[in-house]
Structure 1
Amino acid sequence: MDSCPRRSRDADAVRAVQATLGLPPVIKAANALSLFGEHAAGWLALGMVGAAVDRPRRREWLWATAQVAMAHGASIAVKRLVGRPRPAGEGIRPLATTHSTLSFPSAHAASTTAAAVAFGRVTGQALAPVLVPPMLISRLVLGVHYPTDVLAGSALGALIGVTSAPRKDAGR
């Protein structure tokens, strides 16, 4: 048993999510989300498509896409500073491969939340309630993050998504 009570509760939560949601169709969907969010590539691609097809708001799309990249980069930097290992053992089944052994914060959660907030601002749609929970839960289903990892990543992405904005007169 883990000597850190918070981490033990985190591991309990991952085991409970896997026991409840770890069904083949859910795991398949979680792996698809994982692939889409890897290195924020899916979100970056969507932002570039938005910039290409929505010419009147091209500048806003490009800035929102930059926010996704900033969130991803910031999460990687924090992850390296903190050095928390991914769930291993503790009855948690890793159901996906990862490029790093580091867990806190979740880069998938950070980039997804930044995309939801920033793209939502561009489109005028409330995207976060639809996009964020599936990505966060998918990381637990796959056994590659603890709940505190995804919550911290999401908070970081939200912070970047709401606080980073270009000046209205920049580039004009």
Structure 2
Amino acid sequence: MNCPDCGNERTRVIDTETSADGTSVRRRRECQRCSFRFTSYERPEWDSLQVKKRDGSIESFDFEKLRAGIERAVEKRHVPEEDVTNLVEEVESDLQSRETRIVSSSLVGDLVSERLRELDQVAYIRFVSVYKAFSEPEEFLRELDAVLDSKLDASSSIDSTDKSDTS
């Protein structure tokens, strides 16, 4: 810690005190050259997002890791690179806007799933089959049925709208 008065690098800690809430440390320091005394504060840095995995471990949010997972899901699909970038940025932005710096991996997976379902349904199925770790073919089939049902519902509502427009 440099002295704010003379810029000397050699300072010593005279007193250390933890804040009442335990979130910061206050240190009284003295410059060894000019004897100027000053106070510094230490707080944890939470600039980056942290992801809590299913096993309880915590790791830094990795934009490229998320992108790689999405790219695997959209592989050989006609999904523009720009759409993948936008999806990853939307998920990251959504996570950053939350009040907590530690988010669960299941929240990340849910946010990606939501957006992938709108973007490309085959990519969505690929993603959730890995994300939800389907262990039985029936689980895969249930998810596929849900996608097909929503697609049929959407097409039937479009058909009924078209018919009402022509009447």
TM-score normalized by structure 1?
Answer: 0.31
TM-score normalized by structure 2?
Answer: 0.31
Higher strand content, 1 or 2: 2
Higher helix content, 1 or 2: 1
Give the structure, 1 or 2, with the largest relative contact order (CA under 8 Å, sep 6 or more). 1
Structure with max Cα Rg = 2
